[in-house]
Structure 1
Amino acid sequence: MYADDKVAEVTETYAPDGVPETGKKAGTADDREAMRRLGKEQLFKRNFGFLSIFGFALILMSTWEALLGTIALALGNGGPSGLLYTYLVSYIGFTAVIVSMAEMASMAPTSGGQYHWVSEFAPRSIQKQVSYFVGWLAVLGYQIGVTISAFLAGAMLQGLIVLNNPETYIYQKWHGTLIAMCITICVAIFNVFFANHLPLIEGVILVLHFAGWLAIVVVLWVLGPRTPSVGVWNTFIDAGWGNTGLACMVGFITSAGAFAGGDAAAHMAEELKNAPKVLPRAMLWTIIANGGMGFIMLVTFLYTMGDIEVALASPTGFPIIEVFRSATGSNGGATALTSILIVLGIAGNLTNMAGASRQMFAFARDRGLPAHKWISQVPPRFDVPVNAVVVSTVFACILHCINIGSSIAFNIILSIGSVALITSYLTSVACITWRRIKGLPLLETRFSLGRAGLATNLFSLAFLVVLLVMSFFPPIPNPPPELMNWAIVVYGGVLIFAGIYYFVSARKHYVGPVEYVRKSA
């Protein structure tokens, strides 16, 4: 026995069911009661409070940063005004979605998130199967999220090299891949060996998130060129669809993708003190703050971007870098502002890794993944799912390598992340909507939608259905095979693989989280 273990024995006492009564793992009485009801063992320290979990969720969603990094698609499909109005629709729609999930998170504050909620609220005849497939999609969505955040940070860093060395640097895709892999590995090391400092780091990053946003907004308004208001509020671009509305809907995925990850805080529920109360508050404030900051940043960008064709043709690969260069009039100024995005991108990768590993750990704990016993292990001297972090790191590095062979294939795979998460949101909200329509009882909660619950859930479902359909559209009309959106193929392939594993093995040992709840009742 290690010395640290002896200290833990003195400072923590456990009830017969394995739920700690005292110490850093105990949390509040509501936390202990929630873990007892869920039938889960408390393995992690509850060292997150409201501010740190708010910072965690805010950085993982990174709405304004994601917009600036992925804005090119929407500018070509819908134009400035199309992007602006679809952003407002996304803001409203995702607010309803996150409010719906916040209620479920307060009812069942567990790292499993969506697949656990589905297991609790779906019709009993399909609880096991539906929660299993939602678990796979949620894991997939977060694993790809780990890849995206590292890739964007690495690609922007490579873009700065192109900006500052246009005549001597020869662009190679494998350079950006190596940078992204390095970021992923460094983030994994932090998540394993310095996880106890994660709440403090999230607080620091929260300050940087607001400070970086303010710095960029001020610089662009003070130094940037001015686009006439008609160019912002009444300029649409149709990339050949023959219908402006359809073009805007194709670009819809850009603004919607900036809100993906609104469930992030839920996957840290077992490390949050007073989770039933604090968790829904953190989720709500995340969408309110990120949505507002994203809107101000988007309006600022559109008013100061200058010539849209020049921005889209930037050799750096990122229109925002060209906008920074144009506004400041120097490569140095553009480098400084872009560096803010890179640092925040790495910080986002840090939080993505934490959320993805907890999601994977929870699903493995419920025996939904291959090698579930190994993945769900938490080493005695660690308070994090180390093996899940290792799997997340390896998976991300494998995906990074795909970019070397084909950027198109890589981008297609990355687009699956948003589709997978949207499906998990849609399914979980549909299940609680079904219970409300049937008049079935819901679980006790510290955050209730009350009479507005059914209307909010139905609006969320309508929004998510439209978003899911548009996620499978190609980026341009009548694309050649190499530019087609093959997301549906990869999406279906993952579900087929999950189905095969279910019938071969998982159906024998995966029972769904609700069965553990029933056993503990």
Structure 2
Amino acid sequence: MSKEGKRHGSNASSTSNASVVHSQSDDAGVRALGYAPELSRNRSLFTLTFQLLAMTAIPYGEGAPLINAIYGGGQLTIFVGWIVTMILHQTVALSLAELTSLYPTASGPYYWTYQLLVSANQSRSTVAVVLSYISGWLMLLSNWIVCLSINFGFASILSAVITLHTDGFQLQPWHQLLIFYALCLISLAIVILWNKFLPTLDTIATVWNLATLIIFLVALSASANSGRQSASHALGYYDDSISGWGGFSFFIGIFPPAYTFCAIGLICSMAEEVDKPAIKVPTAMSIIIPISAIAGLMFILPICVTMPPLEDILLAPGGQALPYIIYRVRSTPAGSAALNALLLGTVFFCSTAVTVPASRYIYAFARDNAMPGAALWSKIDPNLGVPVNALYLMTAFQMLLGLISLGNSTAFTAFVSMTTIALQVSYGFPIAISMWYRRSNVQRAQWKLPNVIGWIVNTIAILWISFECVLFTISSITENH
């Protein structure tokens, strides 16, 4: 990918402050990659990790598409699927972490794709440009759609909650669309106007998510209004007749945890806003799934133990299984409403957390003149320090695409499927290219795996990405039909 965009800005003033010295060194690294540093480095390893936790938003990521796990067989699929998916997604996270360390820039996978090809063989520059553009546009579209899926998920969950608590009153599609639009605009305003407070907001989001997990664990376990299942039933019950896919139903059921962690690669676009990005960004990416795997068990175990009959859950309003389960398990409407309010809070924080790296990616892609109107979308507002125009573009795209929901009752599933497939393919390009050239480039990364382990991890990651692309297509077809 040709670096014809903004290059080589002025160095920061010398100072004895260690953080500024690190910032100067990191900015020099950005210049070495062909760019002028324009973003403020106001993130630390902790706030970056908190941002990732807000992005994964376990109660939302696992809960919003939970109906797929019901189609996929029920409790065994939810429990075992969570563990299996965490292990497989960790290989993708580790593979991306190495590449982030090698090229710590907001540009992400398309830049890695280009550099890996050209550094290995200059004669492949044309191929490098083509594959880089394909990867870049897939990543661009998936950035937009992942934000859309989160905001639309909020509207879908809220609609289901209203139906459950109002004796069957159902919001019309245009009502959901207005709720979706409202969250799009709220997230836009927060990310534009509160940039310097966003690390604090991500910290608050982490506290909120942790509190939500603990409250869910206690509240569902204490109520169990639909009864408590035995351990063997709660962790081992499996009904493969619901989806119509027989034994393959299990794989359809791992749709929720796969969606939960599909966007962790977006965090690489924060590389120009943290000091020592070649170490801190990959470190955050490598630890987020082990942390979340443990936290997620606090969420899924009480659901598995107290879950109503699967055939009842299939009738949940709007296909939103989690609000229905909460409503059935909690003994009072007020208790159900409180838990659903906590759930909606995690979606809100997730929306703002994901919007930030998504906008940085648009800025980076435009910075390389890779999209129409590049000069406009790559502009950083001098007062706000954010790519305001890129944020406007992303929000406008979401709002236009959201119109699909007016005529499609399964729009949420479609958005989730599109998001995951596009993201995984864009991740797969640089991982596969790195393997093709025998992982020679990543040996220069500051953060890297031992080579033998790296080969194993990369191989599993590519196989998992390939399987996910097929799986998410089938999952969408299953729910649609």
TM-based fold match above 0.5 = yes
Who is 2:3 aligned against?
none
> Residue 433 of structure 1: which of 421, 432, 435 is its match?
435
The aligned runs of 1:294-305 (5 Å cut-off) are: 294-305=296-307
Matched, 1:20 2:21: no
The one of 278, 281, 293 equivalent to 1:279 is 281
Q: Which residue of the partner structure matches residue 99 of structure 2?
A: 104
**Could you tell me how far 1:204 is from its partner in structure 2?**
1.2
Q: Does 1:117 align with 2:76?
A: no
User: Quick one: structure 1 residues 178 and 350, their matched pair in 2 at CA, closer, same or farther if it must change by over 3 Å?
Assistant: same
Paired residue secondary structure (2:284)? helix
**Which is further off, 421-430 or 119-128?**
119-128
Q: Distance in 1 between matches of 2:104 and 2:322?
A: 38
Name the residue aligned to 1:77: 72
| CA distance in 2 between partners of 1:351 and 1:192 (Å) | 12
Contact kept in structure 2, 1:239 and 1:476, CA below 8 Å? no
In structure 2, the residue matched to 1:453 is: 454
Q: How far does residue 448 in structure 1 lie from its aligned partner after superposition? A: 1.4
The equivalent of 1:328 in structure 2 is 330
Q: 1:26 to 1:201 in 2, by over 3 A?
A: farther
Could you tell me whether the CA contact under 8 Å between 1:364 and 1:373 is conserved in 2? yes
2:206 aligns with 206
Does the CA-based 8 Å contact 2:31-2:37 persist in structure 1? no
> How far did residue 389 of structure 1 move?
0.3
- The farther-off stretch of 316-325 and 282-291 is 316-325
Q: What residue number does 1:401 align with?
A: 403
1:471 and 2:472 correspond: yes
Check the 8 A contact 1:54/1:265 in 2, yes or no: no
Greater CA drift, 122-131 or 49-58? 122-131
Distance of aligned partners of 1:450 and 1:254 in 2 relative to their CA distance in 1, 3 Å threshold: same
Compared with structure 1, are the counterparts of its residues 22 and 397 closer, same or farther at alpha carbon in structure 2 (3 Å cutoff)? Answer: farther
Structure 2 counterparts to residues 343-492 of structure 1, below 5 A = 343-408=345-410, 411-436=413-438, 440-442=440-442, 444-451=444-451, 452-473=453-474, 475=476, 483=480
| Per-residue deviation, residues 121-140 of structure 1 (Å, max 9, x unmatched) | 13641221111111111111
Instruction: Tell me the equivalent position of 1:144.
Output: 145
Contact 1:64/1:293, CA 8 A, preserved across alignment = no
Matched to 1:338, the amino acid is N
Contact 2:159 2:170 in 1 (8 A): no
Q: Does 1:193 align with 2:193?
A: yes
Any conservation in 2 of the 1:143–1:395 contact (CA below 8 Å)?
A: yes
Report matched runs for 1:228-239 at 5 Å: 228-239=230-241
Which letter does structure 1 place at the counterpart of 2:177? T
**Structure 2 residue aligned with 1:219:** 219
TM-score when normalising by structure 2: 0.90
Shift of 1:361: 0.9
Q: Which residue does the alignment assign to 2:171?
A: 171
8 Å CA contact 1:399–1:410 kept in 2: the answer is no
Equivalents in 2 of 1:472, 1:325: separation in Å? Answer: 30
Offset at residue 400 of structure 1 (A): 1.7
Post-superposition shift, 1:407? 2.4
Shift of 1:450: 1.9
Q: Which moved more, 1:63-72 or 1:384-393?
A: 63-72
Of residues 9, 32, 53, the one that matches 1:58 is: 53
Q: Is the Cα–Cα contact under 8 Å of residues 44 and 384 in structure 1 kept in the other structure?
A: yes
Does 1:252 pair with 2:254?
Answer: yes
Distance 2:25 2:433 in 1: 25
AA in 1 matched with 2:212: G
Q: Is the 8 A contact 2:259 2:416 kept in 1?
A: no
Corresponding residue of 1:95:
90
Identity of paired residues, percent?
A: 23
| 1:424 Cα deviation after fit | 1.1
Distance 1:240 1:350, change over 3 A: closer
Deviation at 1:40, TM superposition (A): 0.8
Query: What count of residue pairs does the alignment treat as equivalent?
Result: 463
> Equivalents in 1 of 2:455, 2:95: separation in Å?
9
CA deviations 1:296-316 (Å, max 9, x no partner) are 322221111132222332336
Amino acid at match of 1:446: Q
In structure 2, the gaps of 5 or more residues are: 1-6
Residue of structure 2 equivalent to 1:511: none
Partner amino acid, structure 1, of 2:105 = T
